Structure formats: structure tokens, C-alpha cells
Amino acid sequence: MNQIVDRFRFILDSNDKTSMTTSRSNQLYPQDQYNQKLEANVHPRQWINPTPDGRYNLVVIGAGTAGLVTAAGAAGLGAKVALIERNLMGGDCLNVGCVPSKAVISAARVAANIKHARHFGIDVHEGLNVDFAAVMERMRKLRAKISYNDSAERFRDLGIDVYFGQASFVDSTSVEVEGTKLQFKRAVIATGARAAAPRIPGLDSVGYLTNETVFSLTELPRRLGIIGAGPIGCEMAQSFAQLGSEVLLVESEHGILPREDRDAAEIVQKAISHDGVHLRCCGKKLKIKNEQGIRLTVESHGKNYDEPIDQLLVAVGRAPNVESLNLEAVDVEYDNKGVKVNDKMQTTNSRIYAAGDICSRYQFTHAADFMARIVIQNSLFMGRKKLSVLTIPWSTYTSPEIAHVGLYEDEAKDRGVEVDTYIQHFSDVDRAILEGDDDGFVKVHTKIGSDEIVGATIVARNAGDMISEITLAMTHHLGLSKIGNTIHPYPTQAEAIRKLGDQYSRTRLTPMVKTAFNKWLAWRR
């Protein structure tokens, strides 16, 4: 096992302690048939870069979600497009993010359902035996199956010139890749971000995992330490606990998911603790030691802990992929958070745009997708589409899930927006009760005195699916009363959202209106 850990160890820069991009061999370990198929799709070994034939309408640097959507959309409209990728097409989402994590989470949920089967009157006599190697093999198989959608071959067939190698700007009209200069009218930076290692004493003395390497594991860690109780940390902590690991989760702030609604986060915290995750929040004096293995020491709520662990996952921090792009040559400003863009996704060089994790605090696949659509319109057609008009939801895929869109209550207060808050607990929703998923809620904030929705949070098994109804309403300016007047099937958990519409409607029944109704009804007798 230690040899496997050494394989995943990141090389740390001595100045900023930021992890560098992992190599293909590390990301695609083990080299089984599924990873070989993945590699053949997203970075073919025998690929020969094309020879440029004239100027490109658009050169896209980075083949993650933002880059792929930009390239495909522009080519579909008839533009001449070049797409450059230095590592694996598909970016984080396909290779080390959404796709592999949700495959692992789905297996972990099955294991959890079996463990809790007795609550439904079902006795599993054989007990539970998790074959972790098979879980991870299934993940690799499904990832490889999905990978054709992001493959070099598919994008070449779309009429796009696909180049593999490190891109570097020469000037405001050209970029170089593997010694070949490409001329462009417009360019798009979509190089994304990577895992970053925080400054933790002793961290550079041990082999550790990030989201970029954890999915290369083939053996279940008996004891897994995780630093960071954000979305990645919580998803992986709960999943590995459900699969049989003893998990220690360390967070410097109080509780988990510090950016989420506190009521919602507390419900998830209770759930992951029930699944066996040991939380050490308000963590101070965190240190990592290499003493015949990894030891983690931390102070939590006045108590000192010294824990031996088999594997360590660092799930906090991101760094933008700006190295070697030579952005200074084209006057593109950036900092440690990424490339700076205006509301039209333009960088400080008006000929160069950016999209996705490289330039946005919304580091989600679906956000990158819609940023790319803005870039296509603005870069090719002098459009005036704006990032600020997007209504962007997100979800953390714990069990239960937390999904959110719009403003939190404290954000609304900070912006001077007064709100009314409506809450529907799933303990009063029939389908949730019958499913055993009644420990959650839907919370919606509206502008005070109106039904205009400004934000919402859902805690439920399928919160990520349910939030779309509210996102649709916000995007198209449909008030909460419109949701209340929309028939929902019974029994469903989504009925909780309709019930909030009823709550709003009841607030319109003021004493004056009620008196008028009573007089009308009395006259009609």
C-alpha cells in the first residue's frame, strides 16, 4: 500500500505549496483495459497534431467542460476552431471529478441501503461484503464508457483541429503548441484549476491523495484521514465510511460545509456521523507526521487527538492553471484565484476570453457549460451576453444531498435585501415519510411582501434534481405562487415545493381580506 501511496505523491513547490498537475500515468492508474480505453479516447498515444491551415476564428486552450462546449458550439456555427489540451480531454469532470466521484457515491449508497434494510422489514442474512476493488473497477468501466463524448476523435469529427501539448501565447494573435504557431482572431482560456495543498506542517513528508488521485485507489483504506469538510471532503468521507473505512474528517471551521445554510449542514453532519465519520471540527494545531506511517494530530474543541491513518486525502484548496501560458505577453491579468474577466467573459485583453474554473468562483461543470455559451456569442458575434444574469444552482452529493440556488439569508441581509422565509419540512411530506427520508426540508427566500424568489436550499435524498424547479422559476421570473398553482403528482417529495406556494398564498389572506370574504359568503347564503 505504501508503494501505491508513493506513486500518488505530489511534487510541491517550495514557495506556495501548491500541488502541480499530475501526470497521465498517475491519473490513469491502474493501467487496466478501462483506463487504456479512457486514454485512447481522451489522449491517444499515437495522436498526430494537425498542420494549421490559415487563421482560426477561435483557439480554445483547455479541453475540460468549458473548452469542449466552446469548441463544439463554435464549430457547429461554422467557425474554424482549434482546441488545445496538455493532459486529458474531459478535464476534471470526466477524469477526476463528477464522473468518478458519483460512481463511487452510487456504490456507497447501495451499501448503506443494505445496512439499513432492517428498518424496512428486510433482513439480509448474508450480511454485507464490500469488494472495493470491484467498486473502483465499475467506476473505471463507466468512466471509460462515457469518455467517448469528450474524445479527440469525436471532436475531430466535429471539424475541430485538436492539438495535444502545452499552449503558450506568443502575442495577441497567435499561440504556440509543441513548436507549432497557431494564428487566431479570438482565443479562449479554459485551462481550469487543480487541487492545491495548504500549508500544513509535515504534509510534504508523506504521500497524500487529492481528488486527482483518490480514484486511482484499488484497496480500501482501513483508516482514512480527510482534511477539509467542504463538498469533496464530505462526499468522500461519507462514501468511504459507507464502504467500510474508518474515516477521520478534519475541518478548521465549526461543523461541516461552512458555506452552506447552517440548518441544512447540520442535518448532513448528523447523517455522516451516523454513517461512522468521526468529525474533528474547529481544528487547530493540525500537523502531519511520518512515523512508520502517517499520523495526524489536531486539537478539536479543547481536546488533543493523535491518530494513525493509512491514507490521507487533502480536500481543500484550488489553484488556477495559468503556468506556462505566458499571459504576461498578451496583458492578461490574473492572480491566485485565476484569470480576471469582465461580465462578458473578456479578459483584460479584449481579443482573449476565459470560461470555467480558471476565472469563476462557481467551479461547477454546469456553470462552465453556460459560461462557454456566453463566450461563443460574445467572441464570435459581438454579443452582449452577461455572466451576471445566470442563475446558477449547485448540489453537494452527500446523503441527504444539499442543493442551493440564489442568495442565502445572510447574503440577502448583507445586500440590503429584506426577505420572507418559507420552510417545508419533509417530516410533513407523505412520500418522504414513506421512503424514510423525512429528515430534511425545502427553504425558500422571497423578497419581503412578494412571491419573488431570491434563494432556496433543499436538503433531501434527491435535492440536486429537485432544485431545478426553483431554478427554472427564478430564471423566468415565476413567483412562488405560480409553483403553488402548479399541480404536482402525489405522492412525491417535490410536493414539498408546491406546499411552499400554499404557504405564501395563505399570507395573502390578511384580516381585511378575510373579513371581506366572510361578508361575501354571508351574503351568498
Instruction: Return the pLDDT at 126.
Output: 73
For the chain, give the percent of residues with pLDDT over 90. Answer: 87
Please indicate if the annotation marks 235 as binding a ligand: yes
CATH fold of 2-16+198-316, please? FAD/NAD(P)-binding domain (3.50.50)
Residue 249 — very low, low, confident or very high, per pLDDT cuts 50/70/90?
A: very high
- Residue/partner pairs of 28-32 with CB below 8 Å, 24 or more apart: 28/88, 28/216, 29/216, 30/216, 30/218, 32/137, 32/140
Q: CA angle 309-314-320, nearest 5°?
A: 165
Q: Domain segments of the chain: what residues? A: 2-16+198-316, 55-89+151-196+317-382, 400-507
Please indicate if the annotation marks 317 as binding a ligand: yes
| Class in CATH terms, 55-89+151-196+317-382 | alpha beta
The domains spanning 2-16+198-316 and 400-507 adopt the same CATH topology: no
Task: Taking residues 455-479, report their average pLDDT.
Answer: 97
Please indicate if the annotation marks 255 as binding a ligand: no
Task: Taking residues 231-244, report their average pLDDT.
Answer: 98
Please indicate if the annotation marks 484 as binding a ligand: no
Residue 154 — very low, low, confident or very high, per pLDDT cuts 50/70/90?
A: very high
Q: Quick one: which of 195, 430, 436 has its CA closest to 317?
A: 195
Pairing mode, strands 352-354 and 180-189: parallel
Please indicate if the annotation marks 231 as binding a ligand: yes
pLDDT beyond 60 at 26: no
Task: Taking residues 176-188, report their average pLDDT.
Answer: 97
Q: Quick one: which of 196, 169, 190, 166 has its CA closest to 336?
A: 196
Please indicate if the annotation marks 233 as binding a ligand: yes
pTM, rounded to two decimals: 0.92
Q: What is the mean pLDDT of the chain?
A: 92
Instruction: Return the pLDDT at 20.
Output: 37
Torsion of CA 349, 355, 357, 363, to 10 degrees: 140
- Residue 457's contacts (CB-CB under 8 Å, 6 or more residues apart) are 260, 261, 264, 402, 403, 404, 408, 442, 443
Q: Is omega for the bond preceding 50 within 30 degrees of 0, making it cis?
A: no
Instruction: Return the pLDDT at 19.
Output: 38
pLDDT for 366-418, tens place per residue?
A: 999 999 999 999 999 988 899 999 999 999 999 999 999 999 999 999 999 99
Q: How would you list the strands of the sheet with 303-309, edge to edge?
A: 284-290, 294-300, 303-309
CATH architecture for segment(s) 400-507:
2-Layer Sandwich (3.30)
Please indicate if the annotation marks 406 as binding a ligand: no
Task: Taking residues 307-335, report their average pLDDT.
Answer: 96
CB 390 within 8 A of CB 367: yes
Alpha carbon distance 289, 201 (integer Å): 8
SS3 for 339-350 is ECCCCCCECCCC
Please indicate if the annotation marks 207 as binding a ligand: no
pLDDT beyond 60 at 16: no
Residue 301 — very low, low, confident or very high, per pLDDT cuts 50/70/90?
A: very high
Please indicate if the annotation marks 293 as binding a ligand: no
